[in-house]
Structure 1
Amino acid sequence: MTITRTLRLIPHLVAMFVRTKFEYPGAMLLAWFSQATSYGAMYTAIALIVTRFGTLGGWTWSEMALLLSFHLLAYSSGASFSFTQFRVMEDMVRQGTMDAILVKPISTWVYLVFSGLNIGYTGHVILAVGLMGWALTQVDIVWSLPAILFFLATLLSGAVVVCSLMTMIGATALVWVRSRHLYQIFFGFWELARYPITIFPFPIQLMLITLVPLGFISTVPVAVLLGKPVPLLGGWAGLACLLAGPLMALIAMAHWRWCLRNYQGAGG
C-alpha cells in the first residue's frame, strides 16, 4: 500500500474508534474526571511536601509543577498512540488474532496505533495543560523564539520516547509471547521520572538517561529551560533532549521489524 493511501486511511481508522468510545459518553467523561482527580490529589500531596520543606532536590514548588506537567503531558501524548494498543499484543499473539492483522493491506503498526487511538488520556492532558499554564507564570524563564521552539520540540521528543518504548515492549510479544510484565518495569521507572533525577543515586540517574530514557520526558528538558545543571549530560543536555525522541524512534523501528521477522504465529 502506498504512503498516500495509508495517510488517507488514518482519519477513517481514528473516526471509527472515536465513535465507539462516544457510544457511552457518560462513562468516558467519568473516566476523564477520575483520572484528573487522581493525579490532582497526587500533585497536591507533592505540593504540600515541597512547600513544607522549601525545595525538593533544589526544585521549588513552581519548578516542580512545571516538571510534573511536562512529565504528564509528554507521557499522555505518547501513550495515547501506544499503551492500550500494544499492551494487548500479548493476548493477540496467544489467541492468534495477530495473524489476521498482519495480512491486512496496511502497515501493521499504523493499523494498531490509529485503530485504537486512546482518547482516554484527555483527562491527563487537561490537567497537565492547566498545571503547566500556571507553572509557566511562576518560574523564571527567559522566553525567546529559540526557547519556545525548544520547549515544543522537547515536548514532542519526550512523547516520541514514550511511544517508542511502549512500541518496543508490545513488539516483544511477537517473539516472547509474554511481554505485559515489561510494562510494570516501565511504569516503575516512569514513577521515578516524576521527580528530579538528581535526588536519586548515580545508577538510577544513569538508567533514566540511557537504558530507560524517561528522564527526557521530565527532568532534562525542564532543567535546561530553567538553567539548572543536568547530571551526566552537562552542556550537551539541550541537544540530547532534541535527539532522544528521533533516536528512540529509530531503535523502536529496528526492534519492531526484527520482531515481525521472527514472529512464528500463535503455534510457535
Structure 2
Amino acid sequence: MGLSLFLRFVLYKFKSQMEYRGAFLIGIWGQGLGYVADFVVLWLLVQKFQTINGWNWSEIALLVSLNVFTYALGASFFYHMTGFDSLVISGGFDRYLTSPLHPLTHLSANQFNIGYIAHFIVAGSFLILSLVQLETDWSIATIFFLGVVLVSGGLMHAAAFIFLGSWAFIFTSSQFLFTLYGALRDFISYPISIYGFFVQTLLTFGIPFAFINYYPSVVILSKDGGIFPTWLGLIAPLVAVACFLLSLLMWFYGIKRYQSAGG
C-alpha cells in the first residue's frame, strides 16, 4: 500500500511538471550546461598542472562524477528539506501528519524532484568516460563495489538533507545549515589529501563526506589514502547506513518536539 501510494504521488508530480514542458526542459538544459562547464573548468585546471596531488584528470573526473551523481540521487528524494522550515513555521507540516503514508515518505513522494535528470546525464556520462580511461582491474567485485558506492553515496546525501532539515523542528530555521553543506560538497570535488590534517579528519570522522567519493575511489584506483588507511573505503556503505539511521533518529526526535502553528 505504501509503495503504491508513493509511486502514485511521483507519477502525479511528473505529470504536473509536464504541464509546463518548455520551462522544465529549459531548466534541465541550463543545469546540464552548468555542470558541463564545471567539468570543463576542472579539466583546464588539471591540464595546467597535469595532476593534483598525484591525481590525474580521469581520477578527478571519477571523484566529481561520483559526487554529483550521488547528490542527484539523494536530492531527488529529499531536496525539499532545504525549505522544510517554511512548512514548520506555517504549520503546513500538519497535513503530512494525517497522511496514510509516513510523514517523511509523504514529503519525499509529494516533493519528489524529477529535475535532476541533467545531473544524472552529465555525471553519468563523465563517470563512464573516466572509467573507460582509467587503467584499473575491472573485476566483477570492483564493478559490484562501484554500484554499492553509488547507492551508499546517495544515502549519505539523503542523510544530510534529512538531518539538517530536521533542525527546523528545534530552531525553526535550518536553511543556513545547507550553506555549510554546499561548501563541504565542494571540498570533496578534489582529493581530500590536498588538505591539511584538520580538514581531512573533519571530512573523515566529523562530517564523513569523504566516504561519498574519496575513500571508495581510493579503493577502486588502489591509490594512497593520505593520512588515513586505504581500507576505509571498504566500509563506506556501512558509514552511509549509520549516517542515514542517525538522520532518522534526528527526524523522530524533531517530530516529538513539533508544535503546529496553532500551538
For 1:211 and 1:89, the matched residues in 2 are separated by: 24
Which amino acid in structure 1 is aligned with residue 213 of structure 2?
S
What pairs up with 1:1-268 in 2 under 5 angstroms? Answer: 5-83=1-79, 85-266=80-261
Counterpart code for 1:199: I
Residue 235 (structure 1) shift: 4.0
Residue 206 of structure 2 aligns to a residue whose secondary structure is coil
Give 1:246 shift.
0.8
Cα shift at 1:232? 4.7
- CA–CA separation in structure 2 for the residues paired with 1:156 and 1:233: 23
Deviations 1:59-91 (A, max 9, x none): 0011111111111111111111111x2122111
TM-score of the superposed pair, with normalisation by structure 1: 0.94
CA distance in 2, matches of 1:89, 1:53: 42
Query: Structure 1 residue 262: deviation in Å?
Result: 1.2
Moved over 6 A (4+): none
Give the unaligned 5+ runs of structure 1: none
Instruction: Tell me, yes or no, if the aligned pair for 1:22 and 1:28 is still in contact at 8 Å.
Output: yes
Deviations 1:27-74 (A, max 9, x none): 111111111111111211111111121101110011111111111111
- In the TM superposition, residue 267 of structure 1 has moved relative to its aligned partner by 5.1
Q: CA deviation at 1:261?
A: 0.9
What is the aligned residue count?
A: 263
Q: Distance in 1 between matches of 2:218 and 2:46?
A: 17
Counterpart contact for 1:158–1:244, Cα < 8 Å: no
Does the aligned pair in 2 maintain the 1:75–1:217 contact within 8 Å? no
After superposition, the C-alpha distances for 1:155-187 in whole angstroms (9 at most, x for unaligned) are 110110000110111111112111011000100
Note the alpha carbon deviations across 1:130-161, whole angstroms, 9 max, x for none. Answer: 11111111111201111111110011101100
- Aligned-residue offset at 1:240: 2.1
Alpha-carbon distance in structure 1 between the residues aligned to 2:29 and 2:13: 21
Q: Which amino acid aligns with 1:131?
A: F
**Cα distance in structure 1, aligned partners of 2:3 and 2:227:** 40
Query: What runs of 5+ residues in structure 2 fail to find an aligned partner?
Result: none
CA distance in 2 between counterparts of 1:141 and 1:117 reads 36
Q: Which is further off, 41-50 or 208-217?
A: 208-217
Offset from partner CA, 1:173-218 (integer Å, 9 cap, x none): 1121110110001001011111110111111111112222221222
The answer as to whether partners of 2:219 and 2:230 remain within 8 angstroms in 1 is no
- CA distance in 1 between partners of 2:255 and 2:68 (Å): 31
Contact 2:216 2:234 in 1 (8 A): no
Q: What is the root-mean-square deviation in Å for CA atoms of aligned residues?
A: 1.3
Question: 1:190, 1:235 → 2: CA distance?
Answer: 21
Matches of 2:237 and 2:227, distance apart in 1: 16
The one-letter code of the counterpart of 2:117 is T
Which amino acid is the alignment partner of residue 2 of structure 2? T
Question: How far, CA to CA, are the matches of 1:130 and 1:258 in structure 2?
Answer: 40
Compared CA separation, residues 235 and 223, structure 1 to 2 (3 A)? closer
Name the CA distance, whole Å, in 1 between partners of 2:234 and 2:34. 34
Deviates more, 1:231-240 or 1:165-174: 231-240
TM-score, normalization by structure 2: 0.96
* Cα offset, 1:265, TM superposition: 2.2
